[in-house]
Amino acid sequence: MRECIVYKPIGVIRSGHTKPEETPIQPVYSEGYQGRAEVFPEFAAGLRDLEGFSHIYLVYHMHRADRPRLAVKPFLQDVERGIVATRAPCRPNPIGLSVVRLVCREGNVLHLDAVDVLDGTPLLDIKPYTARFDRIEGTRNGWQDEVDEETARLRGRRGK
Amino acid sequence: MRECIVYKPIGVIRSGHTKPEETPIQPVYSEGYQGRAEVFPEFAAGLRDLEGFSHIYLVYHMHRADRPRLAVKPFLQDVERGIVATRAPCRPNPIGLSVVRLVCREGNVLHLDAVDVLDGTPLLDIKPYTARFDRIEGTRNGWQDEVDEETARLRGRRGK
């Protein structure tokens, strides 16, 4: 139950983001930042039919995350929170999750918009985002509901 | 770039699901199936503030997934699709993702509803589900849009 789990990247994420501190914190604050998921050729056949989806989940290894901490101040608020109540990268397992827009597929390359991922990030999985499974109505959003939209946008885009 | 990535579970998921073939395929088809995320005590401090959120992502290792395949027939449709255009478990990296309802937190134990995860599944990460980041409107949903709601529900619940 406490055994190590080993994954191998299925590709790499390419973007214009090279500095963590200048990278938007979520796709919703990354409008206009294009990028690519370059899937290794041996997995290309697994991408078939993905182009029917307008949005996809990228699941990735945040290779440049700071060492794990159990309490952090999230990007959107200056109040310390438990790490798993935030989306901060310095998690026990630095697994990243982003819902990005799939512009088109060219063979084993996915062209993406609204990319909030650092260039060179190892890609672990891709999943289709579907309204049926993933769009949840009427949620309570914890401390996030304390943050107004304007503040969230300014902080989320890193001031840009 | 092709280096192995090693994670350690932060806990274990408990549920009444012991047979993969009788386990609902997504939380949306798991209404009434309760479960728990038992987080190991050394990570308990990282759960603080999570109880403010009505829904959370569980990120987990699908330890009983079949060997990876690049083409599969998804649970909801008898047409072969590329693996990453589906949510089937037999992925190159069998990372599971479920948006479940957080009923309450009791120390290091999260009580959950709408659980579609097999009992004993290693937990890798938890993230808060937030309307701001995760509820995407107006998506195109590829082959899933071909499946009517009644069929999806029947198949998704495994006929129950």
Residue written as token pair 């397992």: A93
The dihedral through the CA atoms of B71, B76, B79, B82 has a sign that is negative
| Residue whose C-alpha is closest to residue B12's, from B97, B103, B105, B124 | B124
**Residue A160's pLDDT is what?**
73
Q: How many whole angstroms separate alpha carbon A51 and alpha carbon A66?
A: 34
Q: Is the pLDDT at A21 greater than 90, yes or no?
A: yes
Reported confidence tier of residue B23, pLDDT bands at 50, 70, 90:
very high
Q: Residues of chain A with pLDDT > 70: what percent?
A: 99
Reported confidence tier of residue B38, pLDDT bands at 50, 70, 90:
very high
**Residue A9's pLDDT is what?**
98
Closest-CA residue of B relative to A51 is B142
From the list A92, A137, A142, which residue is nearest B43 (CB)?
A92
Q: Is the pLDDT at B1 greater than 80, yes or no?
A: no
Residue written as token pair 């990296």: B93
**Residue B10's pLDDT is what?**
98
Q: What average pLDDT does range B135-149 have in this prediction?
A: 96
Q: What average pLDDT does range B88-114 have in this prediction?
A: 98
Reported confidence tier of residue A159, pLDDT bands at 50, 70, 90:
confident
From the list A27, A48, A136, which residue is nearest B55 (CB)?
A136
From the list A5, A81, A91, which residue is nearest B122 (CB)?
A5
> What is the token pair recorded at A154?
């300014």
Q: What average pLDDT does range A91-103 have in this prediction?
A: 98
ipTM metric = 0.97
Q: What are the two backbone dihedrals, phi and then psi, of residue B79, each rounded to the nearest 5 degrees?
A: -130, 135
**Residue B160's pLDDT is what?**
73
Which residues in chain B touch residue A8, judged by CB atoms under 8 angstroms apart?
2, 4-5, 92-93
Contact at CB, B125 and A84, closer than 8 angstroms: yes
